Amino acid sequence: MKHRIFAAAAGLCAAAAFSSAVSAKTLVYCSEGSPEGFNPSLYTSGTTFDASSRTIFNKLVEFERGSTKIVPGLAESWQASKDGLRYTFRLRRGVKFHTTKNFTPSRDFNADDVLYSFNRQGNPEHPYHKVSGGTYEYYQGMSMPALIKSIVKIDDYTVQFVLNEQEAPFIANMAMDFASIMSAEHADKMMAAGMPEKADLEPVGTGPFQLVQYQKDAVIRFKAHPDYWGGKAAIDTLIFAITPDASVRYQKLKAGECHVVPYPNPADIGAMKADSDINMLEQEGLNVGYLAFNVEKKPFDDKRVRQALNMAINKDTIIEAVFQGAGKAAKNPIPPTIWSYNESTKDYPYDPAKAKALLAEAGVSGLKTNIWAMPVQRPYNPNAKRMAEIIQADWAKVGVEAEIVTFEWGEYLKRSKNGEHDTVLLGWTGDNGDPDNFLYVLLGCDAAKDGTNRARWCHEPFNDLLIQAKRTSDIGARTKLYEQAQLVFKEEAPWVTVAHSVVFMAVRKEVSDYRIDPFGGHIFYGVDLK
């Protein structure tokens, strides 16, 4: 009896706390992990970006919420020079930085902040370059050091980026998380105080939310930025309750301890859909899972063999068994959410008889090969081992004997990059919504040299189309080039394009206007509570 009274009293207290808090609109997001830090240029994980670049900071240009379309951010407008080597950004005026307990900004956002945010990453002599052990992997990974020649401040509200070569996807790169704009004044002040790393630990940005508190591995607390240039957020307090286990997240959602939950267990999706308190949102992910043939090894140098092995695989079985319905068969190497996706591409039909005939035509019989299966779960491939087994069984039907091989993840990436495989399962999640970010990065000739192109396939006609598309900033012209490239790709068949995943987000009914971010981020500006 005593216990019951105690539990009831405790419940009342918690309810009282909840009601006083909800009057000030608090949204709780049960996030899947802890951020590595709060300066997005230093890190590469989506979990970190959710808590930094997608809440605290803005970029010069932004992705429109829920799409891959580029819209003005801290730059009101931008213009490319005719030769495509200079991009001039006109900056927004009257943008306020956050005021924190240790910093009160004395000025609005201007060109100095842009210079600081980029030069810190690109210039090894910059006083902040080495702070917080900065290695700026995303900036490096997107080849920005080779691309950006200089950044020029024309006046307080105009900045020009000078490039070494034409690169149409440059604007899309400017909307990426590493391109977040931070306060130069705050950084200077922390440097003068002898605590430069505080600029990263106590972030000051212009974004819709500002960091209030981070309790490691437990809770991140944000409050709405009262002077946000886009208008104050509808929710006053945003809390990330860090909850690594998916089953526990689901229980928290059911119990009303959180409003939004990412990455549900596939097994729970049915029950979540049936729950009247929960809205299940879904959207195709910005990713592709593929099987690459190593074209440097025989007989995969013969496109007939690659085509035959494409035809020998029944993708429907894979979607059913591996994705449990949370996937869609892929016919192009880019997902349908990206512009220039070629609807007219015809995928290889499942046709073992024709596959056998093609193999015979290529003079291949009794082929023994391997299928590399990743040891980890990825959105584009939730169970690579199972996928490999299905492919193995399908290929056996056309007389191809395949052995399944796997390694520890880091080792897997390294060895497959070195081309040790015959065929390898892998995938890609887009960074900036530009087709170039899939096609050139995964299938271009440069990528074949450095190994990111796991098929090691360098096909001049295909590569030329991609280079041409890089050199024009006209979207219409680029679209045509990429559409054509996708047809060439399909004909040459360096990959089996397996699937695009479907992303699920579970939100409680009282949450309104939550939109799934195609980049896999979790964005709360624009979201409201009923």
Partner 1 sequence: MIRFFITRFGMVVPTFFGVTVIAFFLIRLIPGDPIELLVGERGIDPERHAYLLKELGYDRPLWEQYLGFISNLLQGDFGTSIVSREPVLSEFLTLFPATIELSLMAIIFALAIGLPVGILAAVRRGTVFDHTVMGISLTGYSMPIFWWGLLLIILFSGTLGWTPVSGRISVFFYIEPITGFMLIDSLLIDEPGAFSSALRHLILPTIVLGTIPLAVIARQTRSAMLEVLGEDYIRTAHAKGLGTGRIIGLHALRNALIPVITTIGLQTGVLLAGAILTETIFAWPGVGNWLIGSIYRRDYPSVQGGILLIACIVIFVNLFVDLAYGLVNPRIRHSGRS
3-state secondary structure of 318: helix
User: By C-alpha distance, which of 82, 72, 75 is closest to 118?
Assistant: 75
By C-beta, is 83 or 217 nearer to partner 1? Answer: 217
Closer residue to partner 1 (CB): 241 or 360? 241
Nearer to partner 1, 260 or 400 (CB): 260
Q: Which residue lies nearer to partner 1 by CB, 397 or 414? A: 414
Q: How buried is residue 88: exposed, middle or buried, by Cβ count under 10 Å (0-12/13-18/19+)?
A: middle
Helix locations, 163-268, DSSP H: 170-173, 184-192, 198-201, 246-254
Q: Which is nearer to partner 1, 135 or 324 (CB)?
A: 135
Where do the DSSP E strands lie in 67-216?
70-72, 75-80, 86-91, 148-155, 158-163, 209-215
What is the 3-class SS of 404-418, one letter each residue? EECCCHHHHHHHHHC
Closest to partner 1 by CB, 410 or 476: 410
Query: By C-beta, is 353 or 376 nearer to partner 1?
Result: 376
Angle between helices 303-311 and 352-361 (to 10 degrees): 160
Cα–Cα distances in Å, from 113 out to 57, 132, 194, 204, 511? 12, 19, 20, 11, 35
Q: How far is the CB of 408 from partner 1 (least distance, A)?
A: 4
Least distance from partner 1 to the Cβ atom of residue 358, Å: 30
Nearest distance from residue 185's CB to partner 1, in Å?
Answer: 23
- Give the residue with the Cβ less far from partner 1, 77 or 247: 247
CB of 417 to partner 1, least distance (A): 6
Whole-angstrom distance, CA of residue 172 vs CA of residue 71:
10
List the structure tokens of 313. 């695989």
Distance between first and last Cα of the chain = 37
Q: Please state, as a whole number, how many other Cβ atoms lie within 10 Å of the Cβ of residue 267.
A: 11
Smaller CB separation from partner 1, 348 or 457: 457
Minimum CB separation from partner 1 for residue 8, in Å? 10
The type of residue at 362 is A
| Nearer Cβ to partner 1 (24/193) | 24
Q: Report the C-alpha gap between 292 and 307 in whole angstroms.
A: 12
Smallest gap, in angstroms, from Cβ of residue 323 to partner 1? 19
Rounded Cα distance, 424 and 417, in Å:
10
C-beta of 111 vs 261, nearer to partner 1: 261
Nearer residue to partner 1 within complex by CB, 265 or 345: 265
Nearer to partner 1, 17 or 396 (CB): 17
Min. distance of Cβ 28 from partner 1 in angstroms? 6
Q: How far is the CB of 110 from partner 1 (least distance, A)?
A: 29
DSSP structure string for 23-75: TT-EEEE--SS--S-S-GGG---HHHHHHTTTTT---SEEEPTTSS-EEESSE
CB of 334 to partner 1, least distance (A): 15
- Tell me the residue length of the chain: 530
Scan for tokens 């979201």, then name that residue: 527
Footprint on this chain of partner 1 (rule: CB under 8 A): 6-7, 9-10, 13-14, 16-18, 21, 26, 28, 33-34, 36-37, 42, 44, 132-133, 135, 137, 140-141, 197, 213, 215-219, 221, 239, 241-245, 247-248, 251-252, 254-255, 257, 407-411, 413-414, 417, 426-429, 450-452
If we measure between CA atoms, which residue out of 146, 87, 148 comes closest to residue 117?
A: 148
**Shortest Cβ distance from residue 6 to partner 1 (Å)?**
8
What ranges make up the beta strands (E) of 430-516? 495-508, 511-512
3-class DSSP state of 329: strand
Report how far apart, in Å, the C-alpha atoms of 68 and of each of 285, 428, 524 are. 12, 16, 17
338: its two tokens: 């990206």
Q: Measured from the CB of residue 521, what is the shortest distance to partner 1 in angstroms? A: 17
Tokens representing 414 are 């390294």
CA distances from 84 to 68, 81, 163, 171 (A): 22, 5, 8, 11
Decide whether 238 or 305 has the Cβ nearer to partner 1. 238
- CB of residue 139 to partner 1, shortest distance in Å: 12
**In the numeric block, which tokens belong to residue 84?**
């495509």
Q: Report in angstroms how near the CB of residue 443 gets to partner 1 at its nearest.
A: 14
Q: Minimum distance from CB of 17 to partner 1 (Å)?
A: 5
